[in-house]
Amino acid sequence: MKTYIVGNWKMNFTVGDASVYLHKLLKRIKPARNLQVAIAPSTIALQPLSLQIDRKKLKLAAQNCCGKDYGAYTGETAISQLRGMVDYCIVGHSERRYVFNETDQQIREKVAACVRNNITPILCIGETESERTFGETRDVLRDQLSSGLKDVSREDLEKCIIAYEPVWAISSVKGARPATPDDIANSIKIIREFLREMYGKTIEEKMPVLFGGSVNPSNAGAYLTIPGVNGLLIGGASLIADQFDDIIETAKKVAS
C-alpha cells in the first residue's frame, strides 16, 4: 500500500504566493516509489497551480467541495468543476464540521460526489476533547465512518481514504495537545475494526488510513510507524518548505 503525505494549506497564501511556494517545492521534491505527495491549496489557486504542477512529483487536492454536481448554490464549488485539476478532495475536516457546522448528511453527499466524479475523497473523522473525556471516541468514530461512507458502493470503497483527525490534537484548536503514538494506535485499531466489521477484511486491508493532528518533522516518523497508519494529513508544517520536505523525506525512509 502507498504512503500518503497530504499538505492542507487551509486559508493561507495568495495565488501568487502559492505559485512561488509550489515552484520551491517542485525543486526540492523527488518522486519516490510507493509514496504519494499531495497539496491542498485554497480553491482560488487550484486552477493556476494545476497548470504549473509536475504530477510525477505532486498531486493537487481540494480542501472542500459541494455535494451537488451543478445548480443554484451560490458561492459553492462543485466537485465536477474540479475534474482534471485535482486528484483528491478533503471532506469532513473538523473545521468544516465544527466551525461551519457541516452535517453528516452534507459530508456523506460530498464523499459520494467525489467518487461519482472520479476524485478520491479523504474523509476526515475524529472526536472532540469532551467526547474523548466522556469515553465516546469509539461511538463517534463508528458513526462518522459509517455515515460518511453510507452512499458509496462496495465496488467504490477502495477509491476512498480515511484520515483520523482528533480535534483535541489540532494545533489551531484552543487547548490542543499533541497526540501520543499510543493515543493514535488505539483509535486506528478501532477504525480498522469497524472497516472489517462493516465491509470485510479485503476493504479493511486496502483502504488507506492517514493521521492528522499537529504533525511536524519531529513526530512524523513516530506517527508513520504506527501499525495501520498509511500516511499523514499535515496543516501548519506544510506551509514551511523545509519542514514539509523533511516530513516527505521521513516518509520515503518509512515507505522503503
Task: Answer left, alpha or beta for residue 101, where phi above 0 means left and psi between -120 and 50 means alpha.
Answer: left
- Contact yes or no for 141/127 (Cβ under 8 A): yes
pLDDT at 174: 59
Domain boundaries, the chain: 3-255
User: In CATH, what class is 3-255?
Assistant: alpha beta
**Active-site residue, selected from the candidate residues 93, 102, 127, 204:** 93
Task: Give me the mean pLDDT over the 163-175 stretch.
Answer: 75
pLDDT digits (tens, 9 = 90+) for 222-236: 999 999 999 999 999
Q: Which residues pair with 210 in a beta bridge?
A: 163
What's the distance, CA 51 to chain centroid? Answer: 23
Cα pseudo-dihedral 173, 137, 226, 167, rounded to 10: -10
Task: Look at residue 179 and tell me whether its pLDDT is greater than 90.
Answer: no
Classified as helix, coil or strand, 8 is strand
CA 30/CA 89 separation, integer angstroms: 23
Task: Answer left, alpha or beta for residue 196, where phi above 0 means left and psi between -120 and 50 means alpha.
Answer: alpha
Closest to 110 (Cα-Cα) out of 131, 81, 132, 89: 89
Task: Look at residue 206 and tell me whether its pLDDT is greater than 90.
Answer: yes
Choose the weakest-confidence range: 2-6, 29-33, 117-121, 150-154. 29-33
Q: Is 165 an active-site residue?
A: yes
Task: Answer left, alpha or beta for residue 78, where phi above 0 means left and psi between -120 and 50 means alpha.
Answer: beta
CA 146/CA 235 separation, integer angstroms: 25
Confidence of residue 250 (pLDDT cuts 50, 70, 90): very high
Q: Is 155 an active-site residue?
A: no
pLDDT at 245: 95
- Owner of C-alpha cell 487550484: 46
Task: Give me the mean pLDDT over the 129-138 stretch.
Answer: 92
User: Mean of the per-residue pLDDT values for the chain?
Assistant: 94
Question: DSSP secondary structure string, 89-117?
Answer: EEES-HHHHHTS---HHHHHHHHHHHHHT
Question: Residue 203, exposed/middle/buried by CB under 10 A (0-12, 13-18, 19+)?
Answer: middle
**Active-site residue, selected from the candidate residues 102, 127, 165, 204:** 165
Task: Look at residue 188 and tell me whether its pLDDT is greater than 60.
Answer: yes
3-state secondary structure 231-256: EEEECHHHHCHHHHHHHHHHHHHHHC
Task: Give me the mean pLDDT over the 195-216 stretch.
Answer: 94
Cβ contacts of 225 within 8 Å, gap of 6 or more: 254
Task: Answer left, alpha or beta for residue 213, where phi above 0 means left and psi between -120 and 50 means alpha.
Answer: left
pLDDT digits (tens, 9 = 90+) for 72-113: 999 999 999 999 999 999 999 999 999 999 999 999 999 999
Task: Look at residue 207 and tell me whether its pLDDT is greater than 80.
Answer: yes
- Owner of C-alpha cell 518509512: 254
Supply 35's cell numbers: 509514496
Task: Give me the mean pLDDT over the 22-40 stretch.
Answer: 93
Supply 20's cell numbers: 512561488
Confidence of residue 32 (pLDDT cuts 50, 70, 90): confident
pLDDT at 255: 83
